[in-house]
Amino acid sequence: MGLWSVWWSCVERLRPAFSRSRTFLWFALALAAACVRPDLAGVTSLVRSLGLEPACYGCLLRLFHSTGFDAERLARLWTQSALALLHRQLWQAGGRTVFLADGIKIPKTGRKMPAVKKLHQESESNTKPEYIFGHSCQVIALAVRAARGCFALPLAGGIHEGVVFSNRDRRTLLDKLAAMLLALEVSTPGLLVADAYYASAKIILPLLRAGWHLIAGVRFNAVAYLPPEPPVPGRRGRRRRYGAKVHLRTCFEEDDAFTEAPSPVYGETGIALRYRALDLLWRPVGIVVRFVLVAHPTRGRKILLSTDRSLPPLTVIQTYGIRFKIEVSFKQAIHTLGTYAYHFWMSIMKPRPRRSGNQHLHMESEHYRNAVRRKLRAYHAHIQLGIVAQGLLQALAVLEPAAVWRHYGSWLRTIRIGVPPSERVVALALRNTLPQFLADTARTAILAKFIRKRIDPGRAEGLKLAS
């Protein structure tokens, strides 16, 4: 099968997320444009990448604001499709599929964009400002093996702070992430990997109730407890729930309790680390969890937590080691796909100062609140479009690497064996085969015809023959 045939077979699975066939075709058109666009100038670049008529700009704006575009259902369908397409390449730990979660902060300068607020950036790089003005988004991804490599395939994302519609809403970012993960309706509960921010009862308890488990980092000042001593017969009072307190950082001082082993961390060879596993009661969740203390020769000390106590310590370390792949996925989403390159303004929004935090709307009119909801829906639709586009490029890199390199049509100084083509390489291969796709009269003819009717022959760069 050709690249575009595989691409279309994946996209067709997403049709139930749209109430009308025409809305789905506009989405497929925008998705094709997002996969091949050479620049990231918002909706304008989608029009320019396919050489569309100027009137298509307004049509695409209406697509993102359309009520016939269900971004949450699209995320569920995309998750199911990704699990089915890449079931042989899924990263597993203890028989569970591994999912990744993290947050990303996107600078936005618009003072008439809902959910934009002052955000604090925690970064070791001094090139980043401590505070930015923008959107805070949380993303869930799927860990996928590719030859000797690994990548994070994005599944769903959402803006989870910046706007509060009700003063009775007490949900935190952790509550919303847990809800977003469970809303994907994965048939077989998996294993979520995240950083120390997500090591909380607000994440762990909902996941455990649904059959999921969590691997996360733990702050260095964390404490746990030994099991309580058996009750003394005849002693009055309530039975103790916790035994002696254990300061986990002090456990690094017991050198004899550590085991040395070759590092299982992705990409590390010739490095030995030392580890220790402790099954202790953790007060935030009230159950016994597994703590893995790691002394790495170059990365220093780290404390990991696993709610699945059946996982060997080295498996916990190895699984947590792929968490950084979601950071790599974020870079590709920003610089290659333009997932967060939306510029949707709300004309009736009251301008807000740059130092402001959450926008509280419980005192605003229903008309104003609905306008904010409409704009947030457009943001989520654009984000989910970019997530699907990036996932499609990654899937093609795994499923059709030979075809990707055959149609790449450019030159790389170094091609690493065992590493799948990057999103940029796949995008260029799709761009080179786009005229062939648009001329197709087979099963992809419905989308090809839909695009051809909207091409401006005088502006279509390299697509005049197909038009």
Q: What confidence tens digit (pLDDT) does each residue in 65-114 have?
A: 999 999 999 999 999 999 999 999 999 999 999 999 999 999 988 788 99
Distance of CA 343 to the CA centre of its chain: 21
Q: Determine which of 227-236, 268-277, 318-327 has the lowest per-residue pLDDT on average.
A: 227-236
Q: How many residues does the chain have?
A: 467
Burial of 10 (0-12, 13-18, 19+ CB in 10 A): buried
Who's near 84: CB < 8 A, 6+ residues apart?
none
Angle, vertex CA 330, rays to CA 326 and CA 336, nearest 5: 135
Lowest mean pLDDT among 3-12, 281-290, 348-357: 348-357
- Minimal CA–CA distance to 423: which of 52, 76, 37? 37
Q: Can you tell me the mean pLDDT for 206-234? A: 89
| Residue located via tokens 């790449």 | 408
Residue 465: band (very low, low, confident or very high) from pLDDT cuts 50, 70, 90: very low
Q: Among residues of the chain, what percentage have pLDDT more than 90?
A: 68
pLDDT above 80 (res 355): no
Confidence check: pLDDT of 162 > 70: yes
Can you say whether the dihedral through the CA atoms of 439, 445, 449, 455 is positive or negative? negative
137 in Cβ contact with 363 (< 8 Å): no
Q: What is the model's pLDDT at position 283?
A: 92
CA distance 431 to 439: 14
pLDDT tens readout for residues 2-26: 899 999 999 999 999 999 999 999 9
| Whole-number Cα distances in Å, 108 to 112, 207, 340 | 10, 32, 10
Mean pLDDT for the stretch of residues 157-169: 89
Residue 330's H or E segment, with its range, is helix 325-332
- Cα 260 from chain centroid (whole Å): 34
- Mean pLDDT over all residues of the chain? 90
Whether 27 contacts 436, CB under 8 Å: no
The tokens describing 221, both together, are 């000042």
Euclidean distance between CA atoms 401 and 412, whole angstroms: 15
Question: Is residue 424 over pLDDT 90?
Answer: yes
Tens of pLDDT along 363-412?
889 999 999 999 999 999 999 999 999 999 999 999 999 899 989 888 88
Model confidence at 121, pLDDT cuts 50, 70, 90, reads confident
The reported pTM is 0.93
CA distance linking residue 59 with residue 66, whole number of Å: 10
In the predicted structure, residue 431 carries a pLDDT above the cut 60 = yes
- Cα of first residue to Cα of last residue in the chain, in angstroms, is 23
d(CA 102, CA 325): 10
pLDDT given for residue 444 in this prediction: 55
C-alpha angle with apex 336: 318 to 55, nearest 5 degrees?
Answer: 145
Dihedral of the CA atoms 164, 170, 173, 176 (nearest 10)?
Answer: -90
**Hey, CA dihedral for 129, 134, 140, 143, is it positive or negative?**
negative
pLDDT for residue 354: 67
- The band of 45, judged by pLDDT with boundaries at 50, 70 and 90, is very high
Q: Is the distance from CB of 289 to CB of 307 less than 8 angstroms? A: yes
What SS3 class is residue 186? coil
**Whether residue 177 has pLDDT greater than 90:** yes
